[in-house]
Amino acid sequence: MIGINIDLIDYRGGKALAIKLYEPLPVDFEFKDTFRVVELVSDSVVFEIDTEVIPDEIVFPHLKGPNFDIELVEDNNNPTGFFNYNELFSYPVTSSYYELYSLFEESSAQISIDHSDYSDFINFSSAEERLRNFKYKVDLITSYENSLKTISNTGYTRFGITGSRDYYESLIEGIVNNFDHYDRFLYFESGSNSWPKSNKTRPFKNQASTTAQAINWYSGQLEIASNFDISNLNALTNTLPVFLREDQDNNPALLFINMLAQHFDNVWIYQKAVSDKYDADNRINFGVSKDLVRTTLENFGVKLYNSNFNLESIFGAFIGESYISGSEQIDQYKVITSGSTNAYLQPMPFDNYQK
How do the domains of the chain map onto residue ranges?
Answer: 85-354
The pLDDT assigned to 183 comes to: 92
pLDDT given for residue 230 in this prediction: 93
SS3 content of the chain, % helix, strand, coil (to 5): 40, 5, 55
Looking at residue 3, its amino acid is G
Contact 80, 312 (CB under 8 A): yes
pTM summary value:
0.64
Q: Model confidence over 65-122: pLDDT tens digits?
A: 888 887 766 555 555 566 665 655 555 556 666 776 667 667 677 788 889 999 999 9
Write the DSSP string, 42-60.
S------------PPPP--
The DSSP code for 118 is: G
What pLDDT score was predicted for residue 117?
92
Tell me, what's the pLDDT at 323? 47
Q: Dihedrals φ, ψ of 90, to 5°?
A: -105, 15
Closest CA to 144 of 274, 337, 67, 136: 136
- For the chain, state the CA radius of gyration: 38
CA 15 to chain centre: 79
DSSP 120-170: GT-SSS-HHHHHHHHHHHHHHHHHHHHHHHHHHHHT----SSTTSHHHHHH
Report the amino acid identity of residue 35.
Answer: F
- pLDDT number for residue 16: 92
Amino acid found at 324: I
Alpha carbon distance 197, 186 (integer Å) = 10
pLDDT at 232: 94
* Bridge partners, residue 21, by sequence: 3
Residues of the chain under the 50 pLDDT cut: 323-325
Instruction: Determine how many CB atoms are found less than 10 A away from the CB of residue 334.
Output: 6
SS3 17: strand
Backbone φ and ψ for 151, nearest 5 degrees, come out as -65, -40
- Per the omega criterion (within 30 degrees of 0), is the bond before 61 cis? no
SS3 of residue 220 by DSSP: helix
